[in-house]
Structure 1
Amino acid sequence: MNGAQAMAARLVDHGVDVIFALPGEENLAFVEAVSDTDIELVVTRHEQHAAFMAAAHGRLTGRPGVCLATLGPGALNLFTGLAHAQLGGMPLIAITGQKPRTDNEEGSFQVVDIVAAAGPVTAWATSIDDPKNVASTVDEAFNRALAGRPGAVLIELPEDVASESAGTSLQPITTPTPAAAAPDAVAEAAGLINGAERPVVLAGSGATRPEVAAALTRFAEQTGIGVLAAQLGKGAISESHDLSMRSLGIHRPDYAHLAIEPADVVVTVGYQPVEHPPLAWNPEETKTIVHIAPWAAAIERGYQPAAQLTGDGAATLGALGEEIAPRDTARVAGIRATIEELLAAEDAGDGSPPSPLHVVRTVRDAMGPDDIVTLDNGAYKIWFARHYRTEAPNTLLLDNALATMGAGLGTAMAAARLHPDRKVVAVCGDGGFLMNVQALETANRMGLTMTVLVVRDDAYGFIEWHQDEQGRPNEGVYLGNPDLATLATAFGASAHVVDRDHPLSATLKTALGEPGVSLIDCPLDYAINEILSSDLYDRARKAYDER
């Protein structure tokens, strides 16, 4: 067994069934080894897209998604996807090639120190210098990708290491046993919560793991404490639940801040500050914070926990719930009702052309509670975060950590591959969509069924909006676009265009009923963003006081 075969075999041992890849000359031995296993090799048109798909796979399964690239430019093209996974808490393992350590006839051609370059965007990066170390390095990569807050790791496999003998001995795989936080820490946190007048739970990305989400719902029901979600925590508790106080959206006071601005104790579950700036919900730095997660808190201004419960999230919530005195839920009900009423009162317009709120409501009406919507990044994401009623974990997949453009399509493709029984819709702005439009061919080749809803404003709309808010001229934001329907058809997708005669609701229904990949070109009117520039929290506070 050579090094490449040992790596492929060890990936199989860890349950890997797919690798998202754009291979190169330095990966040939590994690609051959993978072909001798049951691992599916999904060949992409760009390495960045392979990393985005691997990140989404890890996010949805809880096990590291795997991507593959060659040396130099191929490996560097992975980096935005690695940072997306690392900041977003998504387990990912990247495998890259490299020139041989000896007898390198091409010298420095295409050689970049990828391990050093990957340091800032990964939890761990290493190069294998001995084929006998392949299996143990893969094992450590899985440990690092899953330890604490999940993230990205990178393994560099030089060409000669891949071809040399690795021996045949593979040790059994072991995994750490999750445990609840220490009893003393649980008791300390319970004292803080029991002494609070207005506690609230803030759910982050780590709360969307199914077992943690179920434990969080039980905790809320047991204690009567309401739950507010950060964007990456949407769906951790159903937003139809009486104890859900919906979700944070924009990084400024909004209706949902009615749940957290008056809070004296904030219990964060699976949260890190990168997901939503703490000073956006703790501007005076006066709130008592209880941090619950398998990882230590990343401490920064506005996020200096009084107690840290580091351990398995589900087990810790179960232990903590036993120590909390139940409280009356009337206050939570009043806050929830106020938020719901204000959201419902926002005018989405007549759909000619659609506003982002019209898009959100139309998509929500078309999707079941377990169907999946993925978002790229743009101003429309704020409207989905605020309004899209998320009923289950990982059914609205957005990124508010790195918040990169270009990831929405790959996220949807990974979701459609994993869940062919569900409707999957990717909502992408025209800017982000065209960064990876070539992936439509990959989706078609994979035989996926999914809908791509391109909300087109012919501009970088988020930047344009901020320019308007700051009284600046709209410079550097306007774009020209190809005929998106014709382009989609060239890649093998079905295509539709929203206009006065073909409203979004009917067009989306048609697209969702089609097999294969469907694209909808939907013009977008962002005039409604004026609402976001108003004092939404003041409006919410007054509405609540009048109840």
Structure 2
Amino acid sequence: TALARPGVVRGVLHESADQAALFAPLAKAVYRPRTVGDVVQQVPAAIQTALTCPRGPVYVDIPTDLLARPAPPCLSWAVTRVAPHEDDVDRLVAELAAAERIVIWAGGGVVQADVAPELAAAAARLSAPVVTSWAARGVLPPAHPWLVGFPPHEPAVAELIAGADLMLAVGTGFDGTTTRNWTMRRPPRLACVNVDATELAKNYPPDVAVLGDAKRVLAAVAVRVPPRTAANPIADVRAAVQARLAADPSGPEPVRLLESIEAAIDDEVTVIADMAIPGYWWVGYGAVAGPRRLQYPMGWGTLGYALPASVGAATVRPVLALCGDGGLLMGVGELATLAQERLPVTVLVVDDGGYGMLRYDQQRLGDPHRGVDLYSPDWAQLGAAFGIPTQLVGDLGNPLQHALQQALSAGGPQLVVAAARLIPPLTTSPRWAD
């Protein structure tokens, strides 16, 4: 980033005063090699740091005048799993054995640790329903007998959680969006498993804490805890949620959207949801086929995320980018990238003529609409400008389903635009009190 002169910003092209400081809040770690020897040591260390659970991005700041210098091969690293203390595992096993009604809360760490088989085995052994955070959606298949499949914001799910006498939380820090900013009732006993000490007791103090690899811990639970035969409440919970959705003031349109998407995609498609009302519905209620089949800007709420993120994801498998019109227009130039690279991305835009979530906030508060109504482009001409086949539909039912099926089967970039104004789901903060 700089032709090295410590403490001096010389004005090299693209140079900033402290670029590493800019990236530090975004990265798991920052490395600043200043010699070829530093590069040889720190680049493998950075890769190891990024790949060690909890995984995350790292930033490596290499001065530009080092990039062309000769260096020996240095790409060798090892990633190890953190072994839990056996005493902690013993306490966890004893706690689970003594509990009568157990619920499992699975966070994004279960995906990072690749523990789907162990999680499924533990749930069956404990007769424990599994609730997932946004980041863990898809860790169990939609039809798994112990998967709740709906967000904790739903009254029936919240009641299930509060009615347990022990919650086993794995790979989660209990963020604000999934806990209604930590106002949800929790069971009287809490056991947490996490590889990250800073996440282990950050928001809810656990009664039992196990620092270590979730794969090893859940494998022990699935073998050492005596098997339980508690009644399975999943069917009743799902029926209660479906009944509430049928009576929701949002009407039938969001459910029709979900059903059309579910009917159109197969297990290989990754859905990338933007911070938009259709994205909120899919993240909370859509059927996610497997781990990493849903990508969503958890935590920061980055509007306009879905389209640019789909560019990278589509190098691995086909993508459905689920967008609102406002968010899509923030990065609409990426349509050119899709066209140029012929990437298998179907962009679904639910066009409500503006920032629908902000419009809903203003309407709910009785405020006039300000800055929320946008000018929509001529979508057909926009798609044509990039050579992207475009379909316009006015119905979220069968017409949308057929348009998506046609687009996904065609391969390459496709644009589908559905005109609809949706009410946000209970998972969004303005409706937490509903």
| Same fold? TM cut 0.5 | yes
The one-letter code of the counterpart of 2:383 is A
Q: 1:452 aligns with which of 347, 350, 365?
A: 347
1:536 is displaced (CA, Å) by 9.1
SS at match of 1:521: strand
Change (3 A) 1:338 1:507: closer
Shift in Å, 1:376: 0.9
Matched, 1:163 2:64: no
1:309 partnered with 2:200: no
Summarize deviations over 1:62-118 as a string: whole Å, max 9, x none.
xxxxxxxxxxxxxxxxxxxxxxxxxxxxxxxxxxx3344389874697423111222
Task: Using the TM superposition, give the Cα deviation of residue 277 of structure 1 relative to its aligned residue in structure 2, in angstroms.
Answer: 4.8
The correspondence of residues 87-102 of structure 1 with structure 2, limited to 5 A, is: 97-101=1-5
Maintained 8 Å contact 2:394/2:420: no
Match of 1:506 in 2: 402
Which residue among 358, 365, 368 is the counterpart of 2:256? 358
Measured in 2, the distance between the counterparts of 1:198 and 1:382 equals 30
Residue 334 (structure 2) aligned to one of 424, 427, 439: 439
Q: Within the alignment, does 1:516 sit opposite 2:421 as a pair?
A: no
> 2:28 — aligned with what?
123
Equivalences for residues 134-173 of structure 1 within 5 A: 134-166=39-71, 168=72, 170=73, 173=76
- Structure 2: tracts of 5 or more residues without a match: none
How many angstroms does 1:518 deviate by?
A: 0.3
| Residues 278 and 301, structure 1, Cα contact 8 Å, conserved in 2 | no
Deviation at 1:163, TM superposition (A): 3.0
Report how far residue 358 of structure 1 moved: 1.9
1:325 corresponds, among 214, 226, 230, to: 226
Superposed counterparts of 1:450-529, under 5 Å: 450-499=345-394, 503-527=399-423
Given candidates 183, 200, 213, the residue that maps to 2:86 is 183
In the alignment, which residue of structure 2 is the partner of 1:376?
A: 274
- Contact in 2 for aligned 1:240/1:389 (Cα 8 Å): no
Instruction: Say if 1:297 and 1:267 are closer, same or farther in 2 by CA, change over 3 A.
Output: farther
The residue type equivalent to 2:295 in the other structure is L
Residue 217 of structure 1 aligns to which amino acid in structure 2?
A
The answer as to whether partners of 2:307 and 2:321 remain within 8 angstroms in 1 is yes
How many residue pairs match? The answer is 432
Does the 8 A contact of 2:137 with 2:288 survive in 1? yes
> Residue type of the partner of 2:148?
M
**d(CA) in 2 for partners of 1:155, 1:177:** 21
Contact 2:166–2:187 (CA under 8 A) maintained in structure 1: no
The partner residue of 1:241 within 126, 130, 144 is: 144
Q: 1:377 & 1:500 partners in 2: Cα distance?
A: 22
Indicate conservation of the 8 Å contact 2:29/2:58, yes or no.
Answer: yes
CA RMSD of aligned residues (A): 3.2
Superposed counterparts of 1:181-260, under 5 Å: 181-209=84-112, 211-248=114-151, 252-260=153-161
Q: Percent identity?
A: 25
Contact 2:24 2:59 in 1 (8 A): no
The alpha carbon displacement at 1:387 in A equals: 2.1
Q: What residue number does 1:416 align with?
A: 314
Paired AA for residue 192 in structure 2: H
Aligned to 1:19: none
Q: Is the 8 A contact 1:285 1:301 kept in 2?
A: no
Measure, in 2, the Cα distance between the counterparts of 1:320 and 1:437: 48
| Secondary structure of the corresponding residue to residue 314 of structure 2 | helix
Instruction: For 1:194 and 1:280, locate their aligned partners in 2 and report how far apart those are by CA, in whole Å.
Output: 31
Supply the distance in 2 between the matched residues of 1:256 and 1:404 (Cα, whole angstroms). 27
Secondary structure of residue in 2 paired with 1:256 = helix
C-alpha deviations, 1:1-26, integer Å up to 9, x for none?
A: xxxxxxxxxxxxxxxxxxxxxxxxxx
1:181-202 residue CA offsets vs partner (Å, 9 max, x unmatched): 2221111112222222322111
User: Per-residue CA shift, 1:201-254, capped at 9, x if unaligned?
Assistant: 1111122248311211111122211101111111111221111111326xx454
Structure 1 unaligned regions, length at least 5? 1-96, 539-547
Aligned equivalents of 1:224, 1:181: Cα separation in 2: 24
The question of whether the paired residues in 1 share the 8 Å contact of 2:20 and 2:59 is answered with yes
- What TM-score does the superposition give when structure 1 sets the normalisation length? 0.71
Tell me if 1:291 matches 2:186: no
Cα gap change, 1:528/1:142 in structure 2, threshold over 3 Å: closer, same or farther? Answer: closer
SS in structure 2 at match of 1:418: coil
- Once residues 155 and 297 of structure 2 are traced to their aligned partners in structure 1, the CA distance between those partners, rounded to angstroms, is 19
- Corresponding residue for residue 290 of structure 2: 392
Change (3 A) 1:463 1:500: closer
What residue number does 1:263 align with? 164
CA offset at residue 147 of structure 1? 3.1
Counterpart amino acid of residue 389 in structure 1: A
Structure 1 residues 436 and 531: CA distance shift in structure 2, 3 A: closer
